[in-house]
Amino acid sequence: MVVGTLCVLAGGLGATAALRGQPAVRAESPGDEALERQLAAFGLRLARLEQRQPAAPIAARATGDNESLRERVAALERRLAAIEQALETRAVAAGVSRAGAPDPAGLQAGIDDGQVATAAGARAAAADPIPPVIEKAVRRALEAERRQQEEEEQARAELRRLQRAERQVERIAERLALTDEQRSGFVALLLERDEARGALWRKVRDGEIPFEQAREQRELLWKAYDEKVRTLLAPAQYAELEKIRAEREQGGPRGGRRLPQ
């Protein structure tokens, strides 16, 4: 069904009129031919979107693309709006011509300007909007693009959180003599703590809990996190971590650098 839909779109207004059982309007002017070419190009673009393969993992994607997903979505939306307006304008012109309408030169000038000099009632009666099946295909392609964009943004955010936690642990790994297993465990604890903090402050932002209650819950989260850290580290390692925390509070040698707390 989608492939047939795209063929209708690529075929231009003549195919649209045929779909509705109306006489086809031939593209006899240069302006009409240009519009037909635009419609065909848009149909091919939609076909590519419909048939695209699942996106590669976010870590493998280039970060300097010239055209972002958001820009592609916006471009598709602009093109859809332009096609809707062009089809409506041409359908009005066709309806007026079939009814014995005016001077072709003046009508062509009106089309070129994106306007047709007809009464509002005649315009509404003659308008031939994009068939629902075509619009549905376009909307589906746009929605798929939006979903992919949201998934990639979420993956990028998760990757940034992971990299930030790894950097924090790396800054203390040598001083605490952490094993590989302890490094991984520390990173996991930081991610868990930050996720819990984020959920807590979102509740404050959304007005679900008052600020004072959030502060109390934050203290409970801290105690639970610190207890897990104490379990992960040997006593000597935990004592060294306490020294690092004190240095950070006092703005010591590592002041200004983000470290695990």
pLDDT in tens, 19-65: 344 444 444 455 556 656 666 666 666 655 555 444 444 444 444 44
Task: Please say which residue of 136, 152, 168 terminates a domain.
Answer: 152
- The predicted pLDDT at position 155 comes to 92
One domain, residues 148 and 181: no
One domain, residues 146 and 191: no
pTM here is 0.48
One domain, residues 146 and 183: no
Q: Is 99 a member of any domain?
A: yes
Task: Please say which residue of 152, 187, 216 terminates a domain.
Answer: 152
Percent of the chain predicted with pLDDT > 70: 50
Percent of the chain predicted with pLDDT > 90: 31
Q: Is 65 a member of any domain?
A: yes
Q: Is 165 a member of any domain?
A: no
One domain, residues 71 and 147: yes
- The predicted pLDDT at position 93 comes to 58
- Which range in 38-52, 79-93, 114-128, 149-163 is most confidently predicted, on average pLDDT? 149-163
Tell me how many domains the chain contains.
Answer: 2
Is the pLDDT at 126 greater than 90, yes or no?
no
Q: Is 257 a member of any domain?
A: no
- For the chain, give the secondary structure using H, E and C: CHHHHHHHHHHCHHHHHHHCCCCCCCCCCHHHHHHHHHHHHHHHHHHHHHHCCCCCCHHHCCCCCCCCHHHHHHHHHHHHHHHHHHHHHHHHHHHHHHCCCCCHHHHHHHHHCCCCCCCHHHHHHHCCCCCHHHHHHHHHHHHHHHHHHHHHHHHHHHHHHHHHHHHHHHHHHHHHCCCHHHHHHHHHHHHHHHHHHHHHHHHHHCCCCCHHHHHHHHHHHHHHHHHHHHHHCCHHHHHHHHHHHHHHHHCCCCCCCCCCC
Q: Is 159 a member of any domain?
A: no
Domain that holds residue 236: 177-250
Q: Which of 21-25, 107-111, 168-172 is predicted least confidently?
A: 21-25
